[in-house]
Amino acid sequence: MLNIKLFLLFLVLPFVGFSQSSNLNPSISWEYGRGYVKTFDLREKGITHEHFLLNTWLPATFINEEGTIGKDQYFTKFDILNNEVNINIDRKVMVAPMGIVKGFTIHTVEEDRNFLALKPDNWDKPATYFEVIADGEIQLLVYYTAKNVGNTYNPAVDAGSKAAKLVTKEECYILVDNKISKVPNKRKAGERLFSKFSKARKYFSKNKVKFKNKTDLIKLVNFLNKK
């Protein structure tokens, strides 16, 4: 399996940095579940400001609005600045509409990373792609955004870059009964959030959880999800 994923990685590398064409091929179709979606359901990438979770084009499979997982893979990048899924079809960058792409899995060499489009009842933003890092009655999610930390230009020495510098920002949430709660970084606040789950006290009595650490949170949520 590792050799296959390494092969896919090397296959993808030539696509990095390709230039997009303004010409659309109406015969292009892509399989995202049952049946095919023609290019008029996609749109060509037109945004110049972007920030990707992973910079390399990697193979991904997609889930449609019916929950059907497509069998075909497409080279994909997740633009976290614009909350968009970019797909490479015949060397054109196309944006997959969230209305039909309810989720996707990016296949990396190390692991498969699963993302779902969610609109929790108490989420004050539009439907958003979250990474699901622990699943069950309690879902542990990661919300990715791009933060502008400013340029590095120093006029005194005329050095640095004047361009905006974007960095990846991530926040962990738990989702229960379509209600979402942000996981605080501080221990007392984190334990207070999870105290509503009956098995949490037992877990905290035997384990020290760093709430900034995703591995610790995954272990906690997996324990709480056990029957």
The pLDDT score that the predictor gives to residue 150 is 72
The pLDDT score that the predictor gives to residue 91 is 81
The answer to whether residue 87 is domain-embedded is: yes
The answer to whether residue 215 is domain-embedded is: no
pLDDT averaged per 10 residues, the chain (length 227)? 41 34 39 45 66 94 81 90 88 82 93 96 96 98 90 70 81 98 97 95 95 97 94
Q: How far apart are the first and last CA of the chain?
A: 31
Interior angle at CA 158, CA 152 and CA 162, nearest 5: 35
The pLDDT score that the predictor gives to residue 88 is 86
The pLDDT score that the predictor gives to residue 6 is 39
Domain membership of residue 40 as a residue range: 2-183
The pLDDT score that the predictor gives to residue 24 is 36
The pLDDT score that the predictor gives to residue 67 is 79
* Residue 202, both tokens: 């037992």
* Residue 106, both tokens: 């990016």
Angstrom distance (rounded) from CA 162 to CA 217: 38
- The predicted model scores a pTM of 0.78
C-alpha distances in Å from residue 47, one per residue of 17, 120, 150, 183, 211: 15, 27, 20, 32, 35
The pLDDT score that the predictor gives to residue 69 is 81
The pLDDT score that the predictor gives to residue 161 is 67
The pLDDT score that the predictor gives to residue 135 is 97
The answer to whether residue 29 is domain-embedded is: yes
Q: How many domains does the chain have?
A: 1
The pLDDT score that the predictor gives to residue 63 is 87
Measured over the CA atoms of residue 59, residue 180, residue 98 and residue 51, the dihedral's sign is negative
The pLDDT score that the predictor gives to residue 48 is 63
What are the φ and ψ backbone dihedral angles of 193, each rounded to 5 degrees?
-60, -45
